[in-house]
Structure 1
Amino acid sequence: MREMKEMRVLHVNNIADVAGTLSRAQREIGMSSEVAAVKWRYSSAVDHPIPPDPPGLANMRLFFWILRNLHRYDLLHYHGRVGLTALYYKTRRIPAVLHFHGSELRDSNKVRFTSFARWAFVSTPDLIRHAHKVNVDPVEYLPNPVFLEGIYPVNIERRGEEVEGGRPPVVVHLPTDRRVKGTANLLEAVEILRSEGIDVDLRIVEGVEPEKALRRMREADIVVDWISPGFEIYGMVSIQAMAMGIPVVCHIDPALYPKRPPLEVVEPSAEGVAEGLKRLIRRAKGWG
């Protein structure tokens, strides 16, 4: 195998822009690294975008692109669910990484076609147990990467003083899937607060490009991430908000995070979320 800086890496799929971020970091240390993915409407830019229309053929087009170009690379880093196309990767005997990001493990009784990969990673620590259940082993937790360029702290101390002075706190929620993120709990929690005389400026951000989502996040006094009973993790939204210095509400399993992150941890219910928001609002003067 080539020396690391001479390696040519191909990332396939770009879930949550993880592939794009890893590829950029690899290029910054001198490696050749590119991303090929279907360019869905609100996904980030990639090196080799595959047209999304018609949707039923998009993934097939991506595979045909890989057929024509895989010989140019020394390492395949595959993100997400893999199907019969794995048989081709195995025949090529290219060193491969399989990187799981969520539903492809959580929602599957059996994950097929993984033997082509020499290494397996998961993006959140809860996925390790799911990987073991479907015989993906060994597997390692690789935390989601975030480039801090363009992500800088807001003046959260001043915002806290404004909330303490009576301004309704701006609560931002950015669900890619309302069921998965527990959005219904947040909507009901806000109604609970309003019934108690606590006004909240709730802003739900969805269906926008990543750059616009970040701009909307910067407007937040509080960011609410995962608050669903089916999930006990924090994700990319939490990481970005914490990097900005914005308080984050989330439901996590402390056992998964030996070094507890600076989150406002809540129970995954409307009442639990309402209590967590109240705690943060009461401490507004101490933000920052």
Structure 2
Amino acid sequence: MLVNEKVRVLHAPVIIANQSVILANALRKCGVGAVSLQYYHQENRYSADINVYDGNNLLKQTLVRLSVFLRVVNSFDIYHFHFAETLLPLFFDLPILKLLGKKIVFEYHGSEIRPPFKYSNDYKLLTKIKITLNQLRIKIFARLFADAEVVTTPDLLAYAPSAKFIPAAIDDYWLSFSIKIPNKRGKAIIIHAPTSRKIKGSSYLILAIEKLQKEGLQVELDLVEELPLKEIRIHFERADIAVDQLLIGWYGLFAAEMMALGKPVVCYVQDDLKKYAPGLPIVSVNTGNLVEVLRKLVKDVKMRETLGRRGPQFVREFHSSEVVARRFIELYKKL
């Protein structure tokens, strides 16, 4: 497919970590006619180009979504769906789009195809069965109708082996600040911003911090959850060390944002996945050596400075919105 300003791409119908909005904006800057659309039924942190309130009951949601589908079905060439959701319930739109000759992309962000019970034993059997069946349904419909599948982290390739890895795009907002390399001595602030404490392994970090404090180290845990963007920025900038997930095997957007700000990042990165990000300036840990690694970073200010300085350039080359958008343009050309 020839990709230019005449090619129209819809990113829909949900916003995960602001990805559909960031990508649509970046694609437009690259000359592609891209639009972001989201359905929402509660207060949300992000705003798409098109925001559709679809209510809180199934009947209203179905009618609203059908109306939206009828309005946009002939308006785009590529339908880029996020989080394994589409414009109509139960993927009813997919066969129609295929019959009309439209191209379909599924972009996976995590829990829609990654079994959460792999990292927690708190799920009941019936819940596990429900999740497993839903993820199987997603995979079946993707195989039948998607022209391409994409994962934002390479650990997800285990659940979508035919997908292509394209990293998440960071908002240019995080690359616009003057870098403040953490070089202070005294109390070290360790920041952690989990979207799910269970999946991110937050309990291990809390125990590690408590152990370091009992040893007499001057260390403080800043646990950031569900805060407005302006407040998040304040927390991010004052941090000395960032800890991302400790169980999954790859880093998330939080780690990329912290690297962009020049902060040293600690995260569990699987050895077999490191090839996907050469030069990744992250200290890889596991639950067994977390205390040891944090102890060293808290004491070694120079090590924190060195790691922090490597982060912004890596993010510009690997996660900047333009870089990621151009990778998607290459993908679109092959559809």
Query: Shared fold (TM-score greater than 0.5)?
Result: yes
Any conservation in 2 of the 1:42–1:208 contact (CA below 8 Å)?
A: no
Shift of 1:85: 4.0
Structure with bigger RCO (C-alpha 8 Å, 6+ apart): 2
Q: What's the offset of the Cα at 1:122?
A: 0.6
2:269 is the alignment partner of 1:252: yes
**Structure 1 Cα separation of the partners of residues 58 and 208 of structure 2:** 39
Aligned-residue offset at 1:120: 0.7
* Cα shift readout 1:176-211 (whole Å, capped 9, x = no counterpart): 111111111111111100110112121111112345
Instruction: Compare 9-18 and 64-73 and name the one that shifted more.
Output: 64-73
Per the alignment, residue 268 of structure 1 pairs with 287
Task: Kindly indicate whether the alpha-carbon contact (under 8 Å) linking 2:54 and 2:65 is maintained by their aligned counterparts in 1.
Answer: no
Describe the shift of the 1:205–1:92 C-alpha distance in structure 2 as closer, same or farther (beyond 3 A). Answer: same
**1:87 matched to which residue of 2?**
92
Is the alpha carbon distance of 1:232 and 1:2 closer, same or farther for their aligned partners in structure 2, counting shifts above 3 Å?
closer
Which amino acid is 1:38 matched to? Y
Runs of 5+ unmatched residues, structure 1: none
Q: Secondary structure at the match of 1:246?
A: coil
Q: How does 1:176-187 map to 2 (within 5 A)?
A: 176-187=195-206
How many Å apart are 1:81 and its aligned residue?
A: 2.1
Show the counterpart of 1:65. Answer: 68
Alpha carbons 1:98, 1:120 under 8 Å: kept: yes
Larger % of helix: which? 2
Q: 1:26: which partner in 2?
A: 27
Is residue 187–residue 220 contact of structure 2 (8 Å, CA) maintained in 1?
Answer: yes
Q: Aligned pair count?
A: 273
CA RMSD after TM alignment: 2.3
Question: Does residue 116 of structure 2 align to residue 74 of structure 1?
Answer: no
1:121 maps to 2:173 = no
Q: Aligned equivalents of 1:64 and 1:144: distance in 2?
A: 31
> Structure 2 stretches of 5 or more lacking a match?
116-131, 307-335
The amino acid of 1:285's aligned partner reads K
1:44 maps to what in 2? 46
Aligned counterpart for 1:242 among listed residues 234, 255, 259: 259
SS in 2 for 1:187: helix
**Secondary structure of the residue that 2:11 maps to in structure 1?**
strand
Aligned counterparts of 1:52 and 1:250: Cα–Cα separation in 2:
38
Native 8 Å contact 1:8 1:74 kept in 2: yes
Alignment TM-score, normalising by the size of structure 2: 0.75
Spell out, residue by residue over 1:216-267, the C-alpha distance to the aligned partner (whole angstroms, 9 max, x if none): 2122111111112xx1010101111111110011011021022251112111
Match of 1:155 in 2: 180
Give the Cα separation in 2 of the matches to 1:264 and 1:188. Answer: 19
Give the 3 Å change call, closer, same or farther, for CA 251–150 of structure 1 in structure 2.
Answer: closer
Bigger Cα displacement from structure 2, 100-109 vs 118-127: 100-109
8 A contact 2:219–2:298 mirrored in 1: no
Q: Which amino acid aligns with 2:146?
A: A
Q: Please say which of residues 189-198 and 79-88 is displaced more in the overlay.
A: 79-88
Q: Decide whether the 8 Å contact of 1:169 with 1:200 is kept in 2.
A: yes
Q: Distance in 1 between matches of 2:28 and 2:156?
A: 28
Aligned equivalent of 2:323: none
Give distance in 2, aligned partners of 1:149 and 1:3.
Answer: 27
Whether the 8 Å CA contact 1:153–1:245 is kept in 2: the answer is no
Deviation at 1:45, TM superposition (A): 1.4
Cα 1:252/1:279, change in 2 over 3 Å: same
- Give the C-alpha shift of residue 19 in structure 1: 1.1
Go from structure 1 to structure 2 and tell me whether the alpha carbon gap of 1:97 and 1:67 turns closer, same or farther (over 3 Å shift): same
CA contact (8 A) 1:35 1:48 kept: yes
Mean alpha-carbon deviation: is it higher for 210-219 or for 52-61? Answer: 52-61
Deviations 1:101-122 (A, max 9, x none): 1112112462231122111111
Go from structure 1 to structure 2 and tell me whether the alpha carbon gap of 1:95 and 1:25 turns closer, same or farther (over 3 Å shift). same
Q: CA deviation at 1:16?
A: 1.3
Distance 1:99 1:58 in 2: 26
Deviation at 1:282, TM superposition (A): 2.1
Q: How does 1:180-219 map to 2 (within 5 A)?
A: 180-219=199-238
* Deviation by residue 1:124-177 (Cα, 9 ceiling, x = unmatched): 101112113xxxx3x210111113344335321xx32x22xxx21111111111
**Residue type of the alignment partner of 2:147:** R
Alignment match, 2:302: 285
Taking structure 1 as the reference length, what is the TM-score of the superposition? Answer: 0.86
Are 1:10 and 2:10 an aligned pair? yes
